[in-house]
A and B are shown apart, each in its own frame.
Chain A
Amino acid sequence: QVQLQESGPGLVKPSETLSLTCTVSGDSISSYYWSWIRQPAGKGLEWIGRIYTSGSTNNNPSLKSRVTMSVDTSKNQFSLKLSSVTAADTAVYYCAREGSGSYYRAFDYWGQGTLVTVSS
C-alpha cells in the first residue's frame, strides 16, 4: 500500500520560505508525477504544482515564481519550497500522487496533510 507523509515546520514567519518534504513508502517514487495541493481552513483545494521523477516541473501561475520543487529518488522523497510567504499561505498542505495509465492522472494517493501557519 502506497503511503505519503508530509513533514516540515508548522510555523513560518512572514517573508520567509516554507519548506516541506513528502516521503513515499510502499512503492518507488519513479515514473510518476507528484503534486502539492493546499487548502486554507474552511476553503477549497488549490493545486500548487507537480514534479516528475526526472525533475521536470509544472507550477500554478497563481503563485508566480515563488514555488520551487525538487525530488530525491534515492530517499523516495520530493520537496516543496514556497518563498516570501504571507498569512494568505496559511493552509493545510497535502502531497499527492498522480495515477498513471487508465487513472487519467487522478490523484490516487494523498498524504494526511500538514498545517502550516504563517505568523510572526
Chain B
Amino acid sequence: DIQMTQSPSSLSASVGDGVTITCRASQSISNYLSWYQQKSGKAPKLLIYAAASLQSGVPSRFSGSGSGTDFTLTISSLQPEDFAIYYCQQSYSTPRTFGQGTKVEIK
C-alpha cells in the first residue's frame, strides 16, 4: 500500500494568513494526488485534483503543487469558511489511501 503522510497534523492561523500543508507519498505517484476539505458532519469536498488542478467552483485562493512523492496545498489568504480538516489522497494505485488529515483552526 502507498502510505500518505501529511504535515502538520494541525495548525492555528488567523483570517488572512497564508497556509501550506504538505503531503508525502511513500513511493512515486506521479500527479495522481487530490486534496479534500471536510467540515464537521459533512462529506469531504474535492478541492484539487491531478495535484494542481482546481475543481470547478473552488476559490482561487486554493492551489496545489508537486509531483512524484511531495505535494503541497496552499491557501493564500484564509477565510472564516476555510477552517476545516484537509486530506490528501492518492489515486495512483489500489488500495486508494488518504493522509491522516490536517486540522486548520482559528488562532
Q: Which residues in A have some Cβ–Cβ distance to B below 8 Å?
A: 35, 44-47, 49-50, 58-62, 94, 98-99, 102-108, 110-113
Do residues A35 and B96 form an inter-chain contact, with CB atoms below 8 A?
A: yes
Q: Inside 8 A of B99's CB, which chain A residues have their CB?
A: 44
Q: Inside 8 A of A111's CB, which chain B residues have their CB?
A: 43
Q: Inside 8 A of A104's CB, which chain B residues have their CB?
A: 31-32, 34, 49-51, 53, 91
B89 on the interface (CB 8 Å rule)? yes
14 residue pairs from A and B, CB less than 8 Å apart = A35-B96, A44-B87, A46-B98, A47-B96, A50-B96, A60-B94, A94-B44, A103-B50, A104-B31, A104-B34, A104-B51, A107-B89, A112-B42, A113-B43
Task: State in angstroms the CA–CA spacing of A86 and B49 once bound together.
Answer: 34
B95 on the interface (CB 8 Å rule)? yes
Minimum CB–CB distance for A61 against chain B, Å = 7
Do residues B43 and A112 form an inter-chain contact, with CB atoms below 8 A?
A: yes
What is the interface size of chain B, counting residues whose CB is below 8 A from a CB of the partner? 26
CB-contact partner of B49 in A45, A94, A103, under 8 A: A103
Do residues B98 and A106 form an inter-chain contact, with CB atoms below 8 A?
A: no
- Which residue of B44, B55, B97, B99 has the most chain A CB atoms within 10 A of its CB atom? B44
Total number of residue pairs linking A and B with CB closer than 8 Å: 67
Against A, the Cβ 8 Å flags (1 = close, 0 = not) of B31-53 are 11010100000111110011101
Q: Inside 8 A of B95's CB, which chain A residues have their CB?
A: 47, 49, 58-62
Do residues A94 and B97 form an inter-chain contact, with CB atoms below 8 A?
A: no
Q: Inside 8 A of A102's CB, which chain B residues have their CB?
A: 50, 53
Minimum CB–CB distance for A19 against chain B, Å = 20
B100 on the interface (CB 8 Å rule)? yes
Q: Inside 8 A of B87's CB, which chain A residues have their CB?
A: 44-45
Q: Inside 8 A of A107's CB, which chain B residues have their CB?
A: 34, 36, 44, 46, 89
Q: Inside 8 A of B55's CB, which chain A residues have their CB?
A: 106, 108
| Residues 61-107 of B contacting A (Cβ, < 8 Å) | 87, 89, 91, 94-101
Do residues A106 and B49 form an inter-chain contact, with CB atoms below 8 A?
A: yes
For residue A103, which residue of chain B has the nearest CB?
B49
Q: Inside 8 A of B97's CB, which chain A residues have their CB?
A: 47
